[in-house]
């Protein structure tokens, strides 16, 4: 069940994103997360081309997600300490995301949910290329 909520400010109906879903993806967040963070031991029931697209998707949008999380932090003033930009020279996208949302299980949901809830999640390009 996906809950539908009506905003008291804008009167629009919004859908609550459960932790096990990633917007516009057909696989559970746990499967995507495993394929992205543990490529050598990946046992997800998806073909190699799909896993390859997931990795490209993460690399392509990683910097955007990091910027969104920093913007959300500043917008809602989540704590008193400012978020310092991390050095990008030696860290991968997953390592930089791990510094923000943690690298333990569930990191993809912790990253996706706030971005989707403030309407910053971008649609996948493949949906626009058909037809």
Residue 94 lies in a domain: yes
Residue 80: per-residue pLDDT: 56
Query: Do the domain assignments include residue 38?
Result: yes
> Mind giving me the DSSP string for 63-103?
HHHHHHHHHHHHHHT-SSSPPPPPP-SS--HHHHHHHHH-S
pLDDT of amino acid 82 = 53
Q: Does residue 122 contact residue 64 with C-beta atoms inside 8 Å?
A: yes
Domain count, the chain: 1
Specify if 128 maps to a domain: no
Closest CA to 116 of 21, 30, 5, 36: 21
116 or 128: which leads in pLDDT? 116
Please check whether residue 121 is in contact with residue 112, taking contact to mean a CB–CB distance below 8 angstroms. Answer: yes
In a domain, residue 131? The reply is no
In a domain, 130, yes or no: no
Reported as a single tens digit per residue, the pLDDT across 19-74 is 888 988 889 999 999 999 988 888 899 999 999 999 999 999 999 999 999 999 88
Q: Residue 83: what pLDDT?
A: 55
Containing structural domain, residue 33? 4-121
Confirm whether 127 is domain-assigned. no
pLDDT at 50: 92
Integer angstrom CA distances of residue 10 from 5, 14, 78: 12, 10, 23
* pLDDT tens-digit readout, 64-106: 999 999 999 888 876 655 555 555 568 899 999 999 999 999 9
Q: Which residue has the higher pLDDT, 123 or 102?
A: 102
User: How many CB atoms neighbour CB 107 within 10 A?
Assistant: 19
């Amino acid at each position: 069940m996906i809950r539908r909520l009506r905003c008291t400010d804008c009167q629009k109906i919004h859908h609550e994103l459960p932790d096990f879903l990633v917007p516009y993806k057909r696989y559970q967040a746990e499967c995507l997360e495993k394929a992205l963070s543990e490529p050598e031991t990946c046992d997800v029931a998806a073909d190699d081309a799909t896993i390859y697209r997931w990795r490209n998707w993460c690399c392509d949008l990683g910097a955007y997600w990091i910027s969104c999380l920093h913007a959300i932090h500043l917008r809602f003033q989540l704590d008193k300490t400012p978020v310092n930009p991390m050095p990008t020279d030696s860290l991968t996208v997953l390592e930089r995301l791990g510094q923000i949302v943690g690298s333990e299980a569930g990191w993809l949901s912790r990253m996706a949910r706030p971005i989707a809830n403030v309407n910053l999640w971008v649609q996948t390009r493949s949906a626009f290329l058909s037809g």
